[in-house]
Amino acid sequence: MDSELCRKFFTSWRGGHLWVGFSGGADSTAALLVTLEFSREFDFAVTAVHFNHHLRGAESDADALFCRDFADARGCELKIIDLDLENCSGGLEECARAARLAHWRKLAGGHPDNAVVLGHHADDRIENFFLRTLRGANLSGLLMAPLCQVADVQIIRPLLAFSRQEIESFLRRNGVTQWRVDSTNKESCCARNKLRLDILPALYEFFPGARAGIGHSLEVLAEDADFIDSAARQAFETGRLQERSFWRQLSPALMPRVIRLWKQEIPSGKFLHRLRRELSLPAPSGQRTLPWSDSESLVFERDAVFWKTAGITCVPSVSVSWNLLEADSVQWGKWIFSVFPADDFRTGSRYEAVFDAEALGDALSISPPLPGDRMRVFGTGKTVKIKKLRIDAKIPRSLELPVVKNAAGDIVWAPGIRHSALAGVTDGTARKIRLCCRQRNSASVSGSTSRNSS
């Protein structure tokens, strides 16, 4: 193992904070040493995090003490987190994973300059591939990515190119001759251990070169997955998620990935099956719902698609001010409004609009539509009631869309409806900006997000 091959994973974290999962085993010990090595060059903070699951009695406590001594000897901050898994429902391994993720989110979630470093290696990647194949995962789910995001936590796996044997050799070359070994890893007591101890060794013995062949296939599949995930992100960023026609035209390969981007959670197979069935039907005149959880549903009404939370009203009764110079985005109820520079006047959906920045001004407000509200429609010269425009556009009232007003109180845009005649782009426009409206499943109104906030 050559630590220099890990450099590329750390170059973008200058001045940030990396949290290293440190069990005391060989792989996590190597991950911590590599992270500390590059922290000096790239000036990021490092904290080792040890989760004590308390499942092996004195052995678990000894692991924690080993990690404490190892970190102290290298001047590294260590945070020990005790997990209580006695009352968990479901499989123990899944409960432990969920508990760790909850703590990772508290430590590093939502911070763009924070990430979690994990010591997964090439052997873990192969085991993960077989286990997830048996569970019916899609291509992205089959693969351990060296860089990814889980919920709102950024994950780095710098050791995926190295085998367990290479990692142990690296430790010895760096003067580390002891590390912790989980005694339960030697027991065929769970699916992963059975695969690691019995099935894969038999496979490698029967098919010489299988390990290298599988590793190469995983690298190629990772390239394919990156391409599909990139296409899914492009589809997600079109801003057309509230349109039934968008989902009907979307490739089945992209559908679960776009849903995951929208909800920051992997959709179940049952939900995807029902979604495809819904999209095969004619658009409903009333509402049809797809349950996502006990409290949330995806709602289809005419040509609109939106999330609904039981017992929660997402429509604020007040306006939210938005200064475009101070904030890139602002939230109004379940809607997020964002501003971007624009190269031309074209838009990807009715939930985007391009304006002449100087004519629009910097002070806007997002407001609930009021009875009698009118907008001067682009290209017609007519002033028409917002209610009529929404009926013509087949936007259901339950979608609860606001309107955007300028400093004078004029409606410059009603998302879901074509552009107003105010602040339109002309040949003489020096600077164009694009306003985008995205749905976010939220029950409250928050203030704007500062350009300088982290």
pLDDT score recorded for residue 314: 53
Q: Does the pLDDT of residue 399 top 50, yes or no?
A: yes
DSSP β-ladder status, 17-21 and 45-52: parallel
The pLDDT, as a whole number, for residue 266 is 84
Q: Is 129 exposed, middle or buried (0-12, 13-18, 19+ CB in 10 A)?
A: buried
- Residue 81 pLDDT grade (very low, low, confident, very high; cuts 50, 70, 90): very high
Considering the chain, what percentage of its residues have pLDDT values greater than 70?
A: 94
- Helix, strand, coil shares of the chain as percentages rounded to 5? 40, 20, 40
User: How do residues 111-149 score in pLDDT, each as one tens digit?
Assistant: 889 999 999 999 999 999 999 999 888 888 888 989 988
Residue % of the chain over a pLDDT of 90: 49
Distances (CA, A) of 392 to 377, 395, 416, 422: 13, 8, 11, 21
Q: What angle is formed at CA 24 by the lines to CA 21 and CA 27, rounded to 5 degrees?
A: 70
pLDDT of residue 440: 65
Instruction: Inform me whether the pLDDT recorded for 23 exceeds 70.
Output: yes
pLDDT tens digit sequence for 293-352: 888 899 898 888 888 877 555 556 678 899 998 888 888 887 889 999 988 777 767 888
pLDDT at 438 over 70: yes
- How far is 1 from 102, CA to CA, in rounded Å? 32
Q: Quote the pLDDT of residue 446.
A: 35
- The Cα 321–Cα 364 span in angstroms is 6
Which residue ranges form the domains of the chain, and what is each CATH number? Answer: 3-223 (3.40.50.620), 243-309 (no CATH), 320-450 (no CATH)
DSSP 69: H
pLDDT of 25: 95
Q: Read off the pTM.
A: 0.65
